[in-house]
Amino acid sequence: MSSAPHNTVEKEDMLSYWLAKSLRSITSGSIKLHVSDKPALKIEAIDNKDKNKKINIDFLEPELFSFDIKPEDSVEENPSFFHKLKNAFDDNLKNAFDLTKMITDKDEMMLSFSKKFAHYLTINGVTLSISRKGKEAITIGEEAKPTLSRLLTRSDDVQIKSTMEAAKLTDDVLTDE
Amino acid sequence: MNEQSQSSHWTEVVGQLMEKLTGKNMSMTYEFDDLTIDVPSARGPGGRDLGGVQWKINGKVTITTETYQKGSNSKT
């Protein structure tokens, strides 16, 4: 990790490594984000002394963090990775096994950053918990124990705790143009 | 999807997120409550051990932004 990264894969690896390492250095406390005086996001670090670290990120107003997803070609014929993710959650992961057949090499590339980041969190003993309006949706890192969600994320370090909350969160955050 | 298009897609996503976090025509308040950060030890000149340090952050930072039309005094 000492020499400068040369290509996208190395840069992605470096970024995910330092991001996980930076989160490791947060010991305790919280950051609250208010948008126009309205609570929008809360980040809280749980001090477990010598145990693993847990950082909770709660999207109190998830709609404020929405971004557009662009279909690459036709949504019906060739849905983008974000569309597949959204559909899988909307479907409550009932067809998760069928979904694995739809994961393409392109999707794998899209997933690679989050997989690396989640892996580095585990190595650093950090758990990241993502919630929507106080309800836990996704756990990433050390304490993640994926079952069905492994089919979707192809990672042992990402667990979808609640498909309903994850579906709501993706609906709030990912919007069609 | 080649490396460049994958990279630009993520750049777009991160760009949109940053836009949300820095705000446009709105006020954003970051409230730090006893945020403790352990800065690991570093090596100084001659390999001297500079030791680690602990930061504690408390307080509020408010960012208010307004957008203006380029070349005009009127706000958008």
- Residues with Cβ within 8 Å of A125's Cβ and at least 6 positions away in sequence, in order, are A24, A52, A53, A142
Neighbours of A150 (CB within 10 A): 18
pTM of the model: 0.75
The total number of structural domains in chain A stands at 1
Count of CB contacts below 8 A, A vs B? 74
Contacts of A30 in chain B (CB under 8 A): 32-35
Coil, strand, or helix at residue B1? coil
Q: Is residue A2 part of a domain?
A: no
Question: CA-CA distance, A52 to A73, in Å (whole number)?
Answer: 43
Tokens of residue A100, six digits:
């694995």
| Predicted pLDDT of residue A42 | 96
Output the DSSP codes for A80-105.
-HHHHHHHHHHTTTTTHHHHHHH--H
Q: Bridge-partner residues for B31, per DSSP?
A: A32, B60
- For residues A85 and A170, the answer to whether their CB atoms sit within 8 Å is yes
Q: Is residue A122 part of a domain?
A: yes
Question: Within chain B, which residues score under 70 in pLDDT?
Answer: 1-25, 67, 69, 71-76
- The C-alpha R_g of chain B, in whole angstroms, comes to 20
Q: Is residue A3 part of a domain?
A: no
pLDDT digits (tens, 9 = 90+) for B61-75: 988 877 676 765 555
Question: CA-CA distance, A89 to A162, in Å (whole number)?
Answer: 9
Residue A164 touches chain B, beta carbons under 8 Å:
no
Question: CA-CA distance, B13 to B34, in Å (whole number)?
Answer: 31
Contact A36 B27 (CB under 8 A): yes
| Domain range enclosing A54 | 8-176
Question: CA-CA distance, B15 to B9, in Å (whole number)?
Answer: 10
Q: What is the ipTM of this complex?
A: 0.74
| Predicted pLDDT of residue A12 | 75
Q: What is the pLDDT along chain A (177 residues), one digit of tens a residue?
A: 455 556 666 777 888 888 888 888 898 999 999 988 889 999 999 877 667 789 999 999 988 887 666 555 444 555 656 666 666 666 666 666 666 666 666 666 667 778 888 999 999 999 999 999 999 998 999 999 888 777 777 788 988 888 788 878 877 877 665
Coil, strand, or helix at residue A64? helix
* Closest CA–CA distance from residue A43 to any residue of chain B (Å): 10
| Predicted pLDDT of residue A74 | 44
Contact B20 A31 (CB under 8 A): no
**Minimum CA–CA partner of B26 in chain A:** A36
Output the DSSP codes for A110-174.
HHHHHHHHHHHHHHTTEEEEEEETTEEEEEEETT---STHHHHH--TTEEES-HHHHHHHHHHHE
